[in-house]
Structure 1
Amino acid sequence: MSTSSDRKVEEAGHISHVQLTRGQRVKAHFRKWWWAHLINFCVFVVVVMIVAVYGIIPPVAQKLIDKTTLSINAFSITSPTGTSFKLGMDGTIKGATGPADHAVIDSFPVKLFLDDVRVNGDIRPILEFPVPKAHGGGDIHVLQNDIPISITDEGALDQYASRLMDSVEMRVGLRGRTTIHLGAIHTDVNYNEVVQLKGLNKLTGMVITKYTLHTNNSEGNVGGDVLIPNPTVTTIEMGDVGLKISYKGAAMGTGVIKNLILKPGNHTYGFMSHITPDDNILKLATVAIQKDSLTIGSNGTSINGVKIPWLSKPLETMESTVPINTDYFKEKGISPS
């Protein structure tokens, strides 16, 4: 028979198992395995960052570049030789706002080409020039002056010069690859832009606004001014441009516009010509009185006596109908420039 003290001992020796709540079990688990969860979290963050950097940010950055547009305000070709020239460009990149406000684009080389010209499916670059480093936030002004350009593909340049001379409009592409910085993150992007530009349209609209007879002048016997419209944004240093002058299919003589720098807008340039024989001088006077037109072509251009082939070729294929109208400016109510 057990005694009262024995029952107390038995009760004291009995172990009671208390059931933990769900919250207590979770807390106990994290107290024990916190380090494993920390590692998992860090791995997750790294994976998300990798996906963001390599999977999300590059397409976003590319879209920012693709949304921008380039307008060319001025373009210049100066100091031409048979193998080189100097290039100038004044342009504006628009659309670098919103997420691109704080973006920075590294300087990069860009290739210029005719948009509709391909060789075996690839573009045919005319030239390559550097685009300076740029910061986003509103319009970006791009100004480059006197960039030395070496002619590496004369055929491509011939095509460009002919297209510029003959076309009413032309599409020019620019292509390059650069790095864009979005805060501390950077990624490579492609720059692809196509710009619609006006061409010289075969110099349509030329008018001889003044002519003068010269005697005992070794440079010629008829001089004057010719208005040459330039509807483009391009300034071209063309050197001494040779002229072939005819009337109704009959040759009348040759001439030259010396040191021609063709500027945008309507400007007059002085010329000197040799009209032979003397009967043609009388015929020229009749053309002027009747405000009739001559046909003027070119035998190319030269600088310091050296012919510039890529500038000469488009000129040599050109023939323009040019009226003689000494009342041109009076009729238009404008002053010569």
Structure 2
Amino acid sequence: MSEKATVSHNESHDGSTSNAGITGQKSKASKGHCKRFWWIYMAVLAVIVLIVVPCIIFVAVPRMAQSKLDAAKLDIDSIVISQAESDSFHMAINSTILADNGVHATIRAFEGNIYLLSDGVSPDAAAHPFAKFGFPEVESSAAVVVNVSQKVAVEDVDSLVAFNEQLLSQEFVNVRVEGDTQIRVAGIARDYPVTFRKDVQLKAFNGFAGISVSNINVSLASINNFNGTVHIPNPTVFTFEIGNTTWNNYLNGGANVGSAYIRNLAMHPGNNDFFIWADIVQGPVLTALGKKPVCESAQGDLTFQLSGKVVENHGQSIPWLATALSAHNASVTMPVGAAVAKALNAKVPCSQN
């Protein structure tokens, strides 16, 4: 009796045929393939690591770091300019950097250049900073307080004068703080080059708008014949220690009628009061007081324009400050007629002309 070949069939209870045998054969083939070609998979993995990891380290992380730095905001809390000399001054800046706290990093110390942005326009390649300032190393967080104080050399007089002119005469002044530095992201043992660049708009002195003079006294002497208390508002975050100042004094925007003096002029945020005195040429003033409608008023208000002439600090002339103060005339209206009437015990009459 001949034997028949038997083929085993594993059936499920529902009558379907199982593929266990076929699956087992495929699994063995797959294991054999991996065993034979494992080196290919390792090579591919190595290539991926060699390409992707450097891209992350050298491209993605630096771009992310620069992007986070660009998104940060620089707030200037206060600036103190003091100890002015012909070739230097002392500057202290209190500031806060507001940033995304999601990435922890260290920004290395760097030298920052501070530029004037004329009308908010970025400085061109030929622009020179009016100050160079050293910024310390800081650790990133949601709000980083950065306080720095140092002596600043006057390296470009024209740039410094241009900044001070806008600071003293305009309502706002725009500056850029810029410098190349390095940043280290937490978890990566290397520094990446980045550029710190922040544009900041600051409230300026606005031509000393709101200046006034009270407690006016006049005399018939040829010199030192006027004095009073000058009130100068400072709406800025600047404390500006200017020094001993001499001002040209123009009557109604016309003739120069003498010189005025303010000693130890230091502008602090808020209201500032100083003693002011002057050597006034009396003829033009008396003529103006005798003209209508000035002579018809009890106060006899006259408007003068003060323009910076000389600035001295510790016996040293400070031309870069004097030039800035002369670029804009500060107008002040004073009740000179009432002061003259008090001094003469008689009111200046209206002229017939």
TM over 0.5: yes
Matches within 5 A, 1:1-337: 21-34=25-38, 37-97=41-101, 99-100=102-103, 102-116=104-118, 121-145=125-149, 147-185=150-188, 186-213=191-218, 220-248=224-252, 249-277=254-282, 289-324=299-334
Aligned residues: 304
Q: Distance in 1 between matches of 2:261 and 2:100?
A: 47
SS state at 2:146 partner:
strand
Instruction: Give 2:159's aligned amino acid.
Output: A
Alpha carbons 2:257, 2:284 under 8 Å: kept = no
SS state at 1:60 partner:
helix
Q: Distance in 1 between matches of 2:30 and 2:298?
A: 105
Q: Aligned-pair distance for 1:55?
A: 2.0
Q: Distance in 1 between matches of 2:106 and 2:275?
A: 48
Structure 1 match to 2:18? none
TM-score by length of structure 1 reads 0.80
Q: Aligned-pair distance for 1:158?
A: 1.4
Q: Distance in 2 between matches of 1:182 and 1:72?
A: 25
Distance 1:239 1:288, change over 3 A: farther
Larger mean Cα displacement after TM superposition, 51-60 or 207-216: 207-216
Superposed CA deviations along residues 81-138 of structure 1, whole A, max 9, x for unmatched, are: 11111111111111232x23x2221111111101247776444211111121122221
Alpha carbons 1:106, 1:180 under 8 Å: kept = yes
Larger mean Cα displacement after TM superposition, 31-40 or 52-61: 31-40
Q: Distance in 2 between matches of 1:288 and 1:148?
A: 51
Q: Distance in 2 between matches of 1:270 and 1:189?
A: 50
TM-score by length of structure 2 reads 0.76
Distance 1:282 1:240, change over 3 A: farther
SS state at 2:100 partner:
coil
Alpha carbons 2:308, 2:325 under 8 Å: kept = yes
Q: Aligned-pair distance for 1:51?
A: 1.0
Instruction: Give 1:113's aligned amino acid.
Output: Y
Q: Which runs of 5+ in 2 are unaligned?
A: 1-21, 290-294, 337-353
Q: Distance in 2 between matches of 1:155 and 1:103?
A: 38
SS state at 1:81 partner:
coil
Alpha carbons 1:115, 1:171 under 8 Å: kept = yes
Give identity over the alignment, percent. 25
Distance 1:111 1:103, change over 3 A: same
Q: Distance in 2 between matches of 1:158 and 1:148?
A: 18
Larger mean Cα displacement after TM superposition, 177-186 or 305-314: 177-186
SS state at 2:31 partner:
helix
Instruction: Give 1:152's aligned amino acid.
Output: E
Alpha carbons 1:210, 1:325 under 8 Å: kept = no
Q: Distance in 1 between matches of 2:142 and 2:248?
A: 50
Instruction: Give 2:270's aligned amino acid.
Output: G
Q: Distance in 1 between matches of 2:136 and 2:234?
A: 29
Q: Which runs of 5+ in 1 are unaligned?
A: 1-18, 327-337
Larger mean Cα displacement after TM superposition, 105-114 or 179-188: 179-188
Alpha carbons 2:165, 2:327 under 8 Å: kept = no
Q: Aligned-pair distance for 1:59?
A: 1.2
Q: Distance in 2 between matches of 1:209 and 1:198?
A: 26
Distance 1:119 1:110, change over 3 A: closer
Q: Distance in 2 between matches of 1:137 and 1:304?
A: 42
Alpha carbons 1:238, 1:301 under 8 Å: kept = yes
Superposed CA deviations along residues 33-74 of structure 1, whole A, max 9, x for unmatched, are: 545644543442232210101121111111101111111111
